[in-house]
Amino acid sequence: QSVLTQPPSASGTPGQRVTISCSGSSSNIGSNYVYWYQHLPGTAPKLLIYRNNQRPSGVPDRFSGSKSDTSASLAISGLRSEDEAAYYCAAWDDSLSGHWVFGGGTKLTVL
Amino acid sequence: EVHLLESGGGLVQSGGSLRLSCAASGFTFGSYAMSWVRQPPGKGLEWVSSISGSGGSTYYADSVKGRFTISRDESENTVYLQMNSLRADDTALYYCAKGAIFGVAGALDPWGQGTLVTVSS
């Protein structure tokens, strides 16, 4: 069971807007930045969003992140077929001696 | 360009050991934290361990604490993961990722292509 909770699946049609939620607690999302990673089968995971809502260079502005209290969300607008992938949220957790926690991942299907 | 290349994976019997390596290039290795993250077959990403840029601080997931050791060699620009007392549930694709400058709580970016560890029971 993952510390951060994500829906296992999401779907949308091309052009639609989809959001993926990520729920945590005060020791992780509530007190640290949230990161989002995109993972296509057979490839290395790719950083999509850092520090809650910042996009690395090269990531389209169709992708956006937000955070509120102990929850975060990733929004993808203008959905494209190449967006079909697994998406993971992650945050540093201050409990114990500190560790990374990941969500269980959301498999996005573009219908 | 930053490049990370993992190696050392393979098939090992339960109770055995393996040492994974991650050779880094394209950045000032000694300034950045490094992490290992794994993905068991059919499952999601699971953080394993991180080491600070100085190597003075290390962090482990509870599932590997006491069995795995992370280290780094600045002269070789390489981070290692020594895995002992391996169990079937350690079977996974192990990724190496570059972390934040000095501290461990920053973005993991980029990631290597991974090295596969299979533990037979």
H or E stretch including B11? strand B10-13
Alpha-carbon span A82 to A12, nearest angstrom: 12
Residues in chain B closer than 8 A to A87 (CB atoms): none
Question: Mutating which of B5, B37, B45 best tests the A interface, going by the most A Cβ atoms within 10 A?
Answer: B45
Q: Is the pLDDT of residue B101 over 90?
A: no
Question: Do B111 and A44 make contact, defined as CB atoms within 8 angstroms?
Answer: yes
State the DSSP string of A92-108.
EE-STT-EEEEB--EEE
- The tens digit of pLDDT for each residue in B54-85 reads 889 999 999 999 999 999 999 999 999 999 99
Question: Residue B108 and residue A88: Cβ atoms within 8 Å?
Answer: no
Residues of A in contact with B101 (CB under 8 A): none
Q: Does the CB of B101 have a partner CB in chain A at under 8 Å?
A: no
Residue among A2, A3, A18 at smallest CA distance from A107: A18
Residue B102 has pLDDT above 80, yes or no: no
What is the layout of strands, in order, in the sheet containing B78-83?
B3-7, B18-25, B78-83, B68-73
Which residue from B45, B94, B104, B44 is spatially nearest to B68, judged by alpha carbons?
Answer: B94
Q: For B108-118, what is each residue's pLDDT tens digit? A: 999 999 999 99
| B111 → closest Cβ in A45, A97, A103 | A45
Quick check: A56 and B111 CB within 8 A? no
d(C-alpha A98, C-alpha B5), whole Å? 26
Query: What confidence score (pLDDT) does residue A2 get?
Result: 87
Question: What is the average pLDDT value for chain A, to the nearest integer?
Answer: 97
C-beta atoms surrounding A97 within 10 Å: 10
pLDDT value at residue A103: 98
Q: How far is B58 from chain A (nearest CA, A)?
A: 10
Q: Which of residues 57-86 of B touch A (CB under 8 A)?
A: 59-62
Nearest CA in chain B to A37: B108
Residue A61: its pLDDT value, please? 96
Which has more confidence, B103 or A108?
A108
Q: Is B8 left (phi over 0), alpha (psi -120 to 50) or beta?
A: left
pLDDT at B65: 97
Is A92's CB within 8 Å of B112's CB? no
Beta bridge partners of A9: A107
Q: Residues B14-61: pLDDT tens digits?
A: 999 999 999 999 999 999 999 999 999 999 999 999 999 988 999 999
pLDDT for the residue A39: 98
Regions in chain A scoring below 70 on pLDDT: none
- What is the predicted pLDDT for the residue at B100? 87
Number of neighbouring beta carbons within 10 Å of residue B109: 18
